[in-house]
Structure 1
Amino acid sequence: MGVKGANTVEPIRDPDQIREMKEHLLHKSYRDYFLFAFGINSGLRIGDILPLRVMDVASATHLRIKEQKTGKIRKVRMTVALQQEVAKYTKGLAASDYLFLSRQGNKPISRVMAWKIINEAARVVGIEGAIGTHTLRKTFGYHFYQRTKDVAMLQEIFGHSSPSITLRYIGINDDIINQAMEKFSL
């Protein structure tokens, strides 16, 4: 669904809350921690993350994926930190193993299970508001933009048609409007 649709989840803007989420998930389940870390450091949609296998990510600097939503083939550079997380997580796993293996057999966890993992962790650490699996992608985008201020590059990474769509998508427009209105007075 597009930016204007019902998908109104928010990015996690506060780095301390991201750290708290990581800590909580790491204590709960390494798989769940890795799902969160992978999502916020790759910028991929959950539908593109869940079917990944070890062979798709091990010993690679780039991911080559066919996006489920668009059908486009994308080559995505992994950060050095993400490469290190991948190496640690996949050690001892078979190349054909799913990264996010379900407890119900040889298949990845479902989107619903991924949502439950992220949502439950957010509630435990006190994050309020609309949180879901898309929060991972939006969190990546929000912090990428905050660090680089390069909306054109982020637009390209996300495959958006305009910078304004990208800014609205990651919640920057809301932040700017709220700041302006807070200071406005006649």
Structure 2
Amino acid sequence: MNTVQPIRDPAMIEEIKEFFQADCERNRMMFVFGINTGYRIQDMLKLRKRDVMGDHIIMTEMKTGKKKWLQINPTLKRELKQYTADMSDDDYLFPSREGKNRPIKRDMAYKIMRKAAAHFGLKDIGCHTMRKTFGYHMYQRTKDVTLLRKMFNHSSDSITMGYIGMDQDRMDAAMNRFGL
């Protein structure tokens, strides 16, 4: 399995949103949803409109089997309201064009992310990039690794720091200051 990186640059995040907007609203919403929730792609794809209309998203994670409550932030709430306006409650958030009321599959989500990566010349980008981007920016704003560890259900703060790319950032900064 390839290791992916978070998107660290906020300007690049906005460019990717614009790229997806021009391509497909569903793809843009998938990206916006992923970077605002930190959900794994398999958990995102199973969601329907009815799951995201309250103040919280309540779900059982597929990987861990743990129940998770996540408050929908104001940015995502606004985006979801507009995106789901013409959907019925049973519609999947990220519908496939194949078959009636089916979500896209994980491999299609990966192709969507790879299309943006190719367009912008980004490396180490995949579906998990959205989750890591959420984590990276949540940490940058809160500096609370323990909170983020709990949100991700990680076993230690050090795992979370490595996961969101902070270890790499610190090594890069140290090397920039180093020289003999």
TM class, shorter-length: over 0.9
The answer to whether the Cα contact below 8 Å between 1:43 and 1:136 also exists between their aligned partners in 2 is yes
Gaps of 5+ in 1: 1-5
SS of residue matched to 1:64 = strand
Distance 1:64 1:7 in 2: 30
* RMSD (Å) for aligned C-alpha atoms: 0.9
The answer to whether the Cα contact below 8 Å between 1:39 and 1:137 also exists between their aligned partners in 2 is yes
Residues 1:181 and 2:168 are matched in the alignment:
no
TM-score by length of 1: 0.94
Residues 1:118 and 2:118 are matched in the alignment:
no
Residues 1:19 and 2:14 are matched in the alignment:
yes
Partner of 1:149: 143
Residues 1:49 and 2:37 are matched in the alignment:
no
Partner of 2:97: 103
**Counterpart amino acid of 1:94?**
S
The answer to whether the Cα contact below 8 Å between 1:168 and 1:174 also exists between their aligned partners in 2 is yes
Shift of 1:125: 2.5
Shift of 1:29: 0.6
**Counterpart amino acid of 1:145?**
Y
Moved over 6 A (4+): none
**Counterpart amino acid of 1:134?**
H
The answer to whether the Cα contact below 8 Å between 1:99 and 1:108 also exists between their aligned partners in 2 is yes
The answer to whether the Cα contact below 8 Å between 1:36 and 1:136 also exists between their aligned partners in 2 is yes
Q: Structure 2 matches for 1:63-102, cutoff 5 A?
A: 63-102=57-96
Percent of residue pairs bearing the same amino acid type: 50
Identify the match of residue 27 of structure 2 among 5, 20, 32: 32
**Counterpart amino acid of 1:98?**
Y
Partner of 1:168: 162
